[in-house]
Chains A and B, each alone.
Chain A
Amino acid sequence: AQSVAQPEDQVNVAEGNPLTVKCTYSVSGNPYLFWYVQYPNRGLQFLLKYITGDNLVKGSYGFEAEFNKSQTSFHLKKPSALVSDSALYFCAVRDYMDSNYQLIWGAGTKLIIKP
């Protein structure tokens, strides 16, 4: 079965600095990978996905993610952090189980951007 790991419970970054939120995965076959963001007291919002093609994927709010097959990683990045980026970030991989596709989620990483 597929799995996703987010090794950091929390990441602290100063405003204006680059940020990275880490995600590693374990899959059989080609992975379909996703990042979602959850702002306080809100539902999750889709940020970006990797299906195939270019290893650098661009998404919403200036975020991007780099797919690295050899390191089985899909780290989320942003060149210059904003205080408003503070939120909970989830990495997910699509799995095929019981004749249906399902998302397998990481535990989440809390991103704190300090002014």
Chain B
Amino acid sequence: NAGVTQTPKFQVLKTGQSMTLQCAQDMNHEYMSWYRQDPGMGLRLIHYSVGAGITDQGEVPNGYNVSRSTTEDFPLRLLSAAPSQTSVYFCAASPSATSYEQYFGPGTRLTVT
């Protein structure tokens, strides 16, 4: 059982480039979310989805887009990378928005130069 998978594990971008961080889960969970983790700041919610076809903004959505065409996949797109987006990105899934436990992927470490 793979759980939540994320690709790539590491990425270096130049300012202005775009890219997509992939997230997939095989648990048939309805709720998925993207966080960024920065030193001394804990996790901050970027976007989330309560089910296929439904997405919404979290605390720090600017510069990021998401889509949820299937239950399994929840990609995060950086439209025009900026150094401020240098961070570690985590995808998480849970059975529903009211579930108590979230299952996290291993993370993507992104550096924007």
| Interface residues, chain A, with chain B CB atoms under 8 Å away | 4, 9, 32, 34, 41-46, 49, 51, 90, 94, 98, 100-103, 105-108
Q: Is B110 an interface residue (CB 8 A)?
A: no
Contact A49 to B41, CB < 8 A, known contacts A43-B106, A100-B48, A102-B58: no
Which B residues from 64 to 102 make CB contacts under 8 A with A? 90, 92, 97-98, 100-102
Contacts of A103 in B (CB 8 A): 43, 45, 102
Contacts of A43 in B (CB 8 A): 4, 90, 92, 104-107
Is the beta-carbon distance between B105 and A51 smaller than 8 angstroms? Answer: no
| Interface residues, chain B, with chain A CB atoms under 8 Å away | 4, 40-45, 48, 50, 56, 58, 90, 92, 97-98, 100-107
Query: How distant is B35 from chain A, measured CB to nearest CB, in Å?
Result: 8
Is the beta-carbon distance between A41 and B106 smaller than 8 angstroms? Answer: yes
Is the beta-carbon distance between A107 and B42 smaller than 8 angstroms? Answer: yes
